[in-house]
């Protein structure tokens, strides 16, 4: 086996070990870790639980990715840096983050009570059943083989409107 392959395997093993130990430490502190789901071979869509978990993770990751995006708006951090800058990157990052914290709008509300209410709501919605899916399956609408199509005028359809606030209330 080539030296490069051996070096890569050792590096991957050390990364996996660090990830496992980190997850174990978090678990012992009562922190549950999750990651995005991936479709299994032959699976066309996620289960309701997998979808809800994925949306929850996305909502949590949004703040982290937004913070990363703010940092990358600085040209210096949006490109590959030369190795000669490695000793100074931490200082540069602290300066940029300090400027962002001082002059940019906060990414979260900053209200711990509001954040706690949102957390409780998201966890409650995470455990809810998909009532629409249950209705479709119970009425065998997912098994229709023959369909007839006809032209329809959009103006004649009474489609319900939904506000952004309504959407926030119903999504986990």
Task: Kindly report whether the global pTM for this prediction surpasses the value 0.75.
Answer: no
Which DSSP helix (H) or strand (E) runs through 156?
none
Q: Cβ atoms within 10 A of the Cβ of 36, count?
A: 10
Q: What is the pLDDT of residue 16?
A: 55
C-alpha to C-alpha distance for 108 and 115, rounded to whole angstroms: 8
pLDDT in tens, 39-92: 888 888 888 888 888 888 888 788 888 888 999 998 888 888 889 988 999 999
Confidence class for position 108, pLDDT limits 50, 70, 90: confident
| Residue 114 scores a pLDDT above 60 | yes
Confidence class for position 164, pLDDT limits 50, 70, 90: confident
> Any idea what the Cα angle at residue 18 is, between residues 80 and 14, rounded to 5°?
75
């Amino acid at each position: 086996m080539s030296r490069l392959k051996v070096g890569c395997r050792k590096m991957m093993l050390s990364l996996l070990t660090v990830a496992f130990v980190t997850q174990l430490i978090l678990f012992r502190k009562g922190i549950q870790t999750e990651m995005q789901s991936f479709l299994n071979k032959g699976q066309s869509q996620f289960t309701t639980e997998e979808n809800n978990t994925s949306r929850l993770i996305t909502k949590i990751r949004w703040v982290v990715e937004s913070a990363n995006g703010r940092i990358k708006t600085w040209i210096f951090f949006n490109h590959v840096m030369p190795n000669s800058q490695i000793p100074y990157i931490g200082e540069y990052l602290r300066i940029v983050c300090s400027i962002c914290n001082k002059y940019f709008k906060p990414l979260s509300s900053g209200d711990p009570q509001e954040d706690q209410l949102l957390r409780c709501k998201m966890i409650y919605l995470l455990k809810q059943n998909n009532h629409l899916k249950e209705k479709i399956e119970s009425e065998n609408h997912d098994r229709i083989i023959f369909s007839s199509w006809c032209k329809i005028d959009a103006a004649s359809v009474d489609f319900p409107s939904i506000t952004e606030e309504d959407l926030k209330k119903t999504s986990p």
